[in-house]
Structure 1
């Protein structure tokens, strides 16, 4: 398993998950920068992602959906606010309706991804900051912590050139 730690900080309205991978920073960056690779791990194994629009640059917008075991589609969007390849990505993350429009009632989460060289490996830190304590509680209750752990657990096989089932 690649997850090193998972921390919820209610005072800072944040959730941070740290993982390590046996690959260089540039290679790990590609699992974010390439939508086909991102599709292979974003979302838990039972909720695979499909990226419909992918403008991976500062100011870019990304639209995707995850498909559940019963065919249900959960849609989401990202608005990229900062990119410092291959070490940092920052974006606003939210839910979307079936038309791809933002679901304001679910709020927006600011996600920051940092990649650090750790000798023969890369340490990836994904930090999500919520707008309110209620939003954070709702996301955790929806399974964000478990889902992120499962999603990150799929990356080793991608980096090793294996297929993810």
Structure 2
């Protein structure tokens, strides 16, 4: 008699190798692993046979504002057959945490799509019933849906990256990114004035803004936010737009990507905050990806000026 299992399958809109990367790189899996509303803190991820992945899943806050539950997990890799299959043991540090074996298989369907199958291989029908009652099926389906959404909105070309450290505490830097009146004081190239028409700073929300120079028509842009982890990270898709908020082509190149996916991470040490920005085009043509990659120097200069304005704003006495 075969062992009881829970099997969940989803077609993901990305090539198999990219999906494999999503499972094996901490910078990616932290953003989509787990059911809706969960976030992850990864302390170790050693992707090799016998290697250990340790992470804490943070449950969503309660409706009354109470903090969510933290779940300490570990995964030990048993088999790795890149980019097609992995098997692992899963457990947790608390005594009641269910331990089980699992495997993930990736089947190349062609046309840049991959069938992902997640199987939980369980010790007994009783354990299966307990996990189903706990919500393992729904949670697994939500996890693979989050994977699909994340990989569809993650750069598939060479990424631009830049960092900067600010002589200000993390809370102050976070306010500058998340509050419209503060954001307008520093965002954009040096010398422009920014008007924030709308800022809905939440996952799924948008910021719509205009940048203006004397004697020149305003240049509109918008952010569409992905996952936001307070005082840790912000994901957003940045685009040029018109005054109505519709996405438009860049005014300077016809082949500039319509959408650029960005991740900004924040960390603080001794009262100083460091941010790292990483971004790249999504749903882009080869010409758009090439255009983007060819302007890293100018983007470094542009973001350098923007971050210099942010530093100057943080140093002002309000």
Q: TM-score range by the shorter chain?
A: 0.7 to 0.9
Does the 8 Å CA contact 2:158/2:293 hold for their aligned counterparts? no
1:118 aligned onto 2:269: yes
Task: Please give the alpha-carbon distance, in whole angstroms, between the structure 2 residues aligned to 1:71 and 1:63.
Answer: 19
1:91 aligned onto 2:236: yes
Does the 8 Å CA contact 1:92/1:109 hold for their aligned counterparts? yes
**Which residue pairs with 2:289 in the alignment?**
133
Task: Please give the alpha-carbon distance, in whole angstroms, between the structure 1 residues aligned to 2:228 and 2:220.
Answer: 23
Match of 2:259 among 108, 112, 127: 108
Does the 8 Å CA contact 1:26/1:86 hold for their aligned counterparts? yes
Task: Please give the alpha-carbon distance, in whole angstroms, between the structure 2 residues aligned to 1:161 and 1:46.
Answer: 17
Q: How does 1:34-49 map to 2 (within 5 A)?
A: 34-49=179-194
**Which residue pairs with 1:61 in the alignment?**
206
Task: Please give the alpha-carbon distance, in whole angstroms, between the structure 2 residues aligned to 1:162 and 1:151.
Answer: 19
TM-score by length of 2: 0.44
Between 1 and 2, higher relative CO (CA 8 Å, sep ≥ 6) is seen in 1
Structure showing greater radius of gyration is 2
Task: Please give the alpha-carbon distance, in whole angstroms, between the structure 2 residues aligned to 1:65 and 1:86.
Answer: 26
Residue 137 (structure 1) shift? 4.1
Does the 8 Å CA contact 2:236/2:261 hold for their aligned counterparts? yes
Does the 8 Å CA contact 1:46/1:69 hold for their aligned counterparts? no
Q: Deviations over 1:129-153 (max 9, x none)?
A: 1235234147658x43222111100
Residue 119 (structure 1) shift? 2.2
Does the 8 Å CA contact 1:63/1:77 hold for their aligned counterparts? yes
Task: Please give the alpha-carbon distance, in whole angstroms, between the structure 2 residues aligned to 1:153 and 1:14.
Answer: 22
The SS at the match of 2:202 is: coil
Q: Deviations over 1:50-97 (max 9, x none)?
A: 110100001101101111233321111111011101111001111102
Does the 8 Å CA contact 2:187/2:310 hold for their aligned counterparts? no
Task: Please give the alpha-carbon distance, in whole angstroms, between the structure 2 residues aligned to 1:135 and 1:34.
Answer: 32
Does the 8 Å CA contact 1:39/1:51 hold for their aligned counterparts? yes
Residue 100 (structure 1) shift? 2.2
Structure 1 unaligned regions, length at least 5: 1-10
| Residues paired across the two proteins, number | 152
